[in-house]
Amino acid sequence: MPPTARRAAILGGNRIPFARQNGPYANASNQDMLTAALDGLVARFALQGERAGEVVAGAVLKHARDFNLTREAVLGSQLDPGTPAYDLQQACGTGLETTIAVANKIALGQVEWGISGGVDTTSDAPIAINDDLRRVLLEFNAAKTPQQRARIVGKLRPKHLIPEIPRNAEPRTGLSMGGHAAVTAEQWEISREAQDRLAMESHHNLAAAYDRGFFDDLLTPYLGLDRDQNLRPDTDVDKLAKLPVVFGDKESGTMTPGNSTPLSDGAATVLLGSEEWANARSLPVLAYLVDAEVAAVDYVHGEEGLLMAPAYAIPRLLERNGLSLDEFDFYEFHEAFASTVLATFAAWEDPGFCKERLGLDGPLGSVPRDRLNVAGSSLATGHPFAATGGRIVATVAKLLAEKGSGRALISICAAGGQGVVAILER
């Protein structure tokens, strides 16, 4: 049974264009970018001085000082300072999970409207002192006598100066995300050509969407950037085929900088409200968030690929809603890596996987490729981790609004072997 509370409406979104690491946003902090995205949303919907029920957002790479990142961004924005806010973090699932969180409170009648979102910077990344130095300093702080302190200072060694830099690797396996994805790609025999083709389509679809003004009301330029910096409108399979393998075996590997998302900076927000609130403010509803599901897989012991959790989440979501895989007008699959999307599709077409892992009688089915990421996705836009969910939700909600009616499936894989998925309808 899908949830039966009142429907939470998606009313619009705003993001700043996504930049590549150390690009135009190199000196912008998470708080700067999230505030900019919020202010653009406020301006689009004339929400200056209004008190939102809540703002929920998050970042994956976060400085210790940003413990109240979202609240600080709200205080720096044009919203009423009486707007409560909290941070939520579920790796790359953050942006969608914050949307689910706000939608659920709206559905339960706890808030009338709210804003979800996410932000990430890989340029202004938190660099911390290493654990050894941290222990020494904590000891120093706890010391009571000058003699004790002198002894502790004497323990300092050059190695203590080596900083702790955040790594794009799983703590339990030490393998990078791309490394994990390469294992999965090999296991499902996802070809380089298929990955490159998906990447090319992502760029072409995004460029076409920009050209027809699709993003006019989804995006506000920031620091001089008015389109996603990673977008290559004229890329093709030949150009992509020339790129070197960066994950997996250098010879037999298939994953390149072209079919993997680059490290990026950016922020995205989504405006949600009850139908009553939307009507009272004369804000057209783009779509409704119908239901959502989160799955996690045991990638640590090698039972499943790190990024394969959506393959489990979606069948559960479909079953609860009495839907089959082909009953959607739009499929928005986050392209962490082209191979991740294709491996998920391959799994659903595989009777063995569907029987053994999903407990189904036959294959789950195929995703019609002409309805996949029709306005481009992460391979073209870039992927500031926590910002991706907000980008996808606003994009697909607008696609549904343009079409007039329909249903969309959102899928986002996340570090830690998790997958956040949702259904939007209009």
Partner 1 sequence: MADRYQTLMNTGVGRQVAGTVGLPVPERLRRHTPGDPVAHGPVLLGEAPGGHLAKHVQQALEAAGVEVHTTPAGGDARYAALIFDASGVADSTQLRQLQQFFTPAIRSLLPSARLLVLGTPPDHGDARRRTAQRALEGFTRSAGKEMRRGATANLIYVADGAESGMDSTLRFFVSGRSAYVSGQVVTLRPDADAALPDDWDRPLAGKVAVVTGAAQGIGAAIARTLARDGAHVVCLDIPAQGEPLQRVANGIGGETLQLDITADDAPARIAEHLTSRHGGVDVVVHNAGVTRDKTLAGMDEQRWDMAIDINLSAEERINDAVIPILNEHGRIVCVSSLSGIAGNRGQTNYAASKSGVIGMVQALAPELAQRNATINAAAPGFIETAMTAKMPFGVREAGRRMNSLNQGGQPVDVAETIAWMASPASAAVNGQVVRVCGQSLLGA
Looking at the annotation, which residues are catalytic? 92, 383, 413
The window from 94-102, 214-222, 253-261, 381-389 that contacts partner 1 (CB under 8 A) reads 214-222
Please report the sign of the dihedral spanned by the C-alpha atoms of residue 343, residue 348, residue 351, residue 353.
positive
CB 52 to partner 1: min, Å = 15
Count of residues in the chain: 426
Q: 407-414 and 330-333 as β-strands: parallel, antiparallel, unpaired? A: parallel
CB 380 within 8 A of CB 372: no
Residue span binding partner 1 (CB under 8 A) among the ranges 41-49, 154-162, 253-261, 302-310: 41-49
Closer to partner 1 by Cβ: residue 145 or 282: 282
Q: Count residues contacting partner 1 (CB under 8 A)?
A: 24
43 in contact with partner 1 (CB under 8 A):
yes
Amino acid at 164: E
Decide if residue 45 touches partner 1 (CB under 8 A).
yes
Region of 133-141, 218-226, 298-306, 403-411 interacting with partner 1 (CB under 8 A)? 218-226
Q: How far is the CB of 406 from partner 1 (least distance, A)?
A: 20
Give the binding range for partner 1 (CB under 8 A) out of 104-112, 211-219, 251-259, 393-401. Answer: 211-219
Question: Interface mask (CB under 8 A) for partner 1, residues 48-87, using x and -?
Answer: xx----------------------------x---------
For residue 267, the minimal CB distance to partner 1 (Å) is 14
How is residue 279 written in tokens?
């009507």
Q: For residue 108, state whether it binds partner 1 (rule: CB under 8 A).
A: no
β-strand partners of 115 = 55, 271
Binding-site ranges for partner 1 (CB under 8 A): 39-40, 42-46, 48-49, 78, 213, 215-217, 219-224, 226, 282-284
